[in-house]
């Protein structure tokens, strides 16, 4: 896909990866619809998009509100005639471990990080189906597949849910027949900036940023590449591949074992095959 004149909706566009993605898309001549809660900050990003040669259209939106996200999609279509790419970049962290985090904060985190992406897909996919094409990009984290530090339980939980949601959405779209809609999961190593700076345990420890964390500009470049050439999963960061490889094989082996033995009548034999597959992968790791 060419980004010149493409209509790109970016949530979380007021800062961090969302802002960087919006500006890079505008630099390629895209028409960018900017969504976040802060109207003043969105206005600044919109002006910068225009300075970079694209278009910037600010639509203040709380992604946790499904009606607001539907209105965002409607505004994009009314302004530009369709939606080519939808980037779910809105995200937040909680400055506490799971035991200390207030329930209202956990609900807000899941509302933004998970339901925000679900709302985006539910708004964008029907439009893309009518167009016959489109790309949905969700920015998650490798913490959704491999937790490498404390005080990120809520964030890791939300990104794990997002990874699974994308897998489910791909399967559902595949079941409805031929289409040209791609669902892509971008997996940076660690929380995305500026989320990482605010993920601090209540123990008083210094702000935690994992060794695998990727700066916003680098993640944004990966998002832009994914919009042009969609892939199911995109790993970002120096340590992303080894971290992903170290944690994924054993669970994958278990899943393969379950699928392989699902048709067997002897439950005990099936269980043994699963256990052996997992053990072999642990030994190789």
239 is catalytic: no
Cα 149 from Cα 190, distance rounded (Å)? 9
Find tokens 């949530």 and name the residue.
11
Catalytic residue among 155, 165, 208, 239: 155
**In the structure encoding, which two tokens stand for residue 26, read together?**
């505008």
* Preceding omega of 159 cis (within 30 degrees of 0): no
**Burial letters 22-49, b for 16+ CB under 10 A, else e:** bbbbbbbebbbbbbbbeeebbeebbebb
26 closest CA partner among 41, 40, 13, 12: 13
**Do 159 and 141 contact (CB within 8 A), yes or no?**
yes
β-sheet with 7-11: strand ranges across:
55-58, 31-35, 7-11, 85-88, 134-139, 181-188, 233-236
47 closest CA partner among 12, 13, 74: 13
Q: Which residues are catalytic?
A: 155
């Amino acid at each position: 896909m060419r980004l010149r004149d493409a209509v790109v909706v970016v949530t979380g566009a007021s800062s961090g990866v969302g802002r960087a993605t919006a500006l890079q898309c505008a630099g390629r001549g895209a028409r960018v619809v900017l969504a976040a809660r802060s109207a003043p900050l969105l206005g600044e990003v919109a002006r910068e998009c225009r300075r970079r040669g694209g278009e910037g259209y600010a639509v203040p939106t709380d992604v946790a509100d499904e009606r607001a996200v539907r209105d965002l999609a409607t505004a994009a279509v009314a302004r530009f005639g369709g939606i080519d790419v939808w980037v779910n970049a809105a995200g937040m962290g909680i400055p506490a471990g799971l035991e200390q985090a207030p329930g209202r904060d956990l609900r807000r985190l899941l509302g933004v990080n998970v339901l925000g992406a679900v709302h985006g897909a539910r708004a964008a996919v029907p439009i893309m189906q009518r167009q016959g094409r489109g790309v949905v990009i969700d920015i998650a984290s490798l913490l959704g597949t491999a937790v490498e530090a404390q005080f990120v339980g809520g964030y890791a939980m939300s990104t794990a849910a997002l990874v699974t949601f994308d897998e489910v959405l791909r399967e559902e779209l595949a079941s409805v027949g031929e289409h040209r809609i791609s669902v892509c999961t971008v997996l940076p190593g660690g929380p995305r900036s500026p989320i990482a700076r605010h993920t601090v345990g209540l123990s008083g420890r210094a702000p935690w940023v994992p060794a695998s964390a990727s700066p916003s500009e680098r993640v944004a470049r990966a998002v832009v590449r994914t919009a042009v050439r969609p892939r199911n999963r995109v790993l970002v960061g120096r340590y992303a591949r080894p971290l992903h490889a170290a944690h994924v094989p054993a669970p994958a082996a278990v899943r393969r074992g379950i699928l392989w033995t699902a048709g067997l009548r002897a439950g005990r034999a099936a269980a043994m095959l699963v256990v052996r597959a997992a053990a072999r992968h642990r030994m190789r790791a």
